[in-house]
Amino acid sequence: MKRSLLFLLLCSAVASADEGMWLFNAVPNGQLASRYKFTPTQQFLDHLRLSSVKFGGGSGSFVSPRGLIFTNHHVASRCIQDVSSKEHNYMRDGFYAASAAGELKCPGLEVQVLLDISDVTAKVNAAVQARPESAEAAQQRRASMSALEKDCVAAHGGACNVVTLYSGALYHLYRYKKYDDVRLVFAPEESIAFFGGDPDNFTYPRYDLDITFLRAYENGQPAATPNYLMWSATGVKEGELALVSGHPGSTDRFITLAQFAYMRDVSYPRTLKMLKSIIGVLKQYGVLSGENKRLARGKLFGAENSFKVRDGEFKGLTDPRFYQQKKQIEDKLRAEIAANPKTRDEVGPAFDEIAAAFTAWRGQSREYLLESGAAFCDLFGIARNLLRLADEKPKPNADRLREYSDAALPSLELRLFSSAPITPELEALMLEQYFHLLVDELGASNDTVKQILAGRTPAAAARAYVFSSKLADVTERKRLAADPAALAASQDGMIRLVRLIDPAARAIRKIYDDRIDAVERAAASRIARARFALYGASAYPDATGTLRLSFGAVAAYRDPRNVPVPSMVDFAGMYRHATGEEPFKLPQRWLDAKPKLALKTPFNFVSTADIIGGNSGSPTVNTRGEVIGIVFDSNYEAMHNRFIYGMANERCVHVAGQGIVEALKQVYSAGRVLSELGFPNTAQ
């Protein structure tokens, strides 16, 4: 389908085709009605919103009145890994709780349900007395947001978060109900949940049972969840409207050319380099033994998945045609702004301000590695949180770093004191890769790097810090958190490391917050307000990790070679795709169950729904609000959807509801789950 790229990126009065990750309080009813003859009622939207749940980096939904949660295997994999052991490898073998007593609590896992949304733009803006682009304005804005969140939690409990929309043109307060007792109910074997492994990741056709069922508890009992999604008895159908309710992480469809160029030239190459090194060492560690492979699997999946996403996005960033199109788009927008007196005065030199900020940041951004930290090293995050919590908590709420505000503390402390197991050998490997990155990017002569290494190799230094730490023990973490004097006197290896890094890390963060983020936010919000003036208020904002509604048709397509690709694949196709060798080796129970399965049952399908990372686990429903599937991936052609939506051969990939029910019946005999979903267990 041809259409103007400007129309896509700037989202004029009505978004093109199925484009859009829409706010639940700004659903494009006209677009849905004209294209699909469907207009959701407020009751429909409220029910879908209250049935949807947010994980840390993913999505899910309630599918029974007793707290049963439906999500992806890869979204729940940290829980599955954490409750596993050398004796009980639930990632390899799968898990099914045949009774309530067998449901296993997930350490440190919290899910949230969005209760309501309120516009607090006027309150945030009223608190800003300084020049909008100044560091003082940025601090005043952050202080106002923290105060609003604190007041919300004090009044209502749960969790509250002020969400920045349209680059700061709007601020909405999201209020959530939290469940911090979440237990594992059912998970298939990883070899069928991620059938095809990394070679098939972000491809289609796919044959994955990427599902898990968990349960939310309150006061030791299954939570009462009157808002839940019924399962469709008929399942997905070719050509029907599929609605997706989930939490897309972030998109960059409205960035300026300067921001686009910075990502292409600086941030993406650095990230890909880091991920590649982490993947390499995790694979080396995993081949040493079966137990090593089990322990490394969660980190390896995360790194490989992230690399493939970023690599696909990077190909879009480095395509000269794409850059030229982006330039034409921005030139046209700037011309339209300049031709309108109102928008010309509103925007002023905003584009140039953003360009100047990112030009300056290019020379400093590598130092931000000290603040971003060793992302795959759990002990590093624990040590930093302990030290920063002690530093930030005595400050007035308005003066703290945002992640340590009163409203954020309960969730942070839940993660900090999680009993999830930690493997020192893996932690040392991850920390070593971080040190290598610091040496490569900052240089061995950098003062902080010299202090970290103290004449040692990255490997020797990493092992010294990790193996002289007791922070893997939750009791030790709690002791230090409760005793500031003990923390201050602690010579724990990881605490010592963070003490060495934190002064420089805080300094570069302040530079970024004051000189880059403050300028970017002020300038980008002026551009966003100009878009409103030019194109109307029906535009959707970039994704922010908060609940959005997407929609699209269940539709076949042609791949880049012009080969037809069906909208649905079935179990028969899966068995043909299996080779008996990893990662195309089916679990034995699937080989045994083949004679019992209805092989033509839809298993995976695709739609034109607009999704991005974070949508994993999003329920897919029909116009009756019934579950017809679950989002678990997109195809590789859709990787550029971070920057531009397309629906020629870009597709969202789902597990089909019919295939899930058939597998639960015939392969797993999961009667408890089937009963809660409204299906009798009729396995033969």
Mean pLDDT, the chain, rounded, equals 94
The reported pLDDT for the residue numbered 110 is 98
The reported pLDDT for the residue numbered 289 is 96
440: Cβ contacts below 8 Å, ≥ 6 apart: 273
* CATH number assigned to the domain comprising residue 96: 2.40.10.120
Instruction: Provide mean pLDDT across the span 34-58.
Output: 97
* Residue 396 covered by a domain: no
Question: Containing H/E element for 53?
Answer: strand 52-54
d(CA 199, CA 74): 16
Nearest to 543 by CA among 309, 167, 253, 249: 249
Between CA 381 and CA 391, with CA 385 as vertex, the angle to 5 degrees is 150
* Residue 385 covered by a domain: no
The reported pLDDT for the residue numbered 153 is 98
Nearest to 246 by CA among 545, 657, 521: 545
* Residue 70 covered by a domain: yes
d(CA 441, CA 439): 6
d(CA 623, CA 380): 46
Q: Please name the amino acid found at residue 165.
A: L
Between CA 202 and CA 212, with CA 208 as vertex, the angle to 5 degrees is 110
Instruction: Provide mean pLDDT across the span 84-103.
Output: 97
420: Cβ contacts below 8 Å, ≥ 6 apart: 78, 82, 107, 108, 378
112, two tokens: 């949230």
428, two tokens: 């040392």
Residue 610 sits in which domain range?
5-110+180-252+541-677
* Residue 580 covered by a domain: yes
Residue 116 phi/psi, 5-degree rounding, is -160, 165
For the ranges 185-194, 287-296, 327-336, 548-557, which has the lowest average pLDDT? Answer: 327-336
558: Cβ contacts below 8 Å, ≥ 6 apart: 564, 565, 649
For the ranges 212-226, 450-464, 613-627, 641-655, which has the lowest average pLDDT? Answer: 641-655
At residue 634, the 3 state secondary structure works out as strand
For the ranges 134-138, 157-161, 464-468, which has the lowest average pLDDT? Answer: 134-138
At residue 457, the 3 state secondary structure works out as coil
Checking 55-59 for CB contacts under 8 A at 24+ apart, the result is 55/109, 55/111, 55/247, 55/617, 56/110, 57/249, 57/613, 57/614, 58/247, 58/614, 58/616, 58/617, 59/245, 59/246, 59/247, 59/614, 59/615, 59/616, 59/617, 59/618, 59/619, 59/631
87: Cβ contacts below 8 Å, ≥ 6 apart: none
Residues of the chain with pLDDT > 90: what percent?
90
pTM: 0.93
206, two tokens: 């796919």
Q: Residue 640 has what DSSP assignment?
A: G
Q: Residue 178 has what DSSP assignment?
A: E
* Residue 418 covered by a domain: no
Q: Please name the amino acid found at residue 139.
A: Q
For tokens 């004029």, name the residue.
12
Cis peptide before 132, with omega less than 30 degrees from 0?
Answer: no
C-alpha R_g of the chain: 25
At residue 671, the 3 state secondary structure works out as helix
Query: Considering its fold, how many domains does the chain have in total?
Result: 1
Interval 504-513: pLDDT, tens:
999 999 999 9
At residue 566, the 3 state secondary structure works out as coil
DSSP assignment of 647-659 equals -SS--EEEEEHHH
566, two tokens: 């069906």
* Residue 369 covered by a domain: no
Between CA 601 and CA 218, with CA 619 as vertex, the angle to 5 degrees is 120
Instruction: Provide mean pLDDT across the span 9-27.
Output: 70
The reported pLDDT for the residue numbered 504 is 98
The reported pLDDT for the residue numbered 448 is 98
648, two tokens: 């020629």
> How far out from the chain centre does Cα 606 lie?
20
* Residue 390 covered by a domain: no
104-105 and 111-119: which strand pairing? unpaired
* Residue 365 covered by a domain: no
The reported pLDDT for the residue numbered 322 is 81
Residue 257 has, within 13 A of its CA and on its CB side, a CA count of 16
DSSP assignment of 134-176 equals SHHHHHHHHHHHHHHHHHHHHHH-SEEEEEEEGGGTEEEEEEE
Between 319 and 221, residue with greater pLDDT: 221
At residue 181, the 3 state secondary structure works out as strand
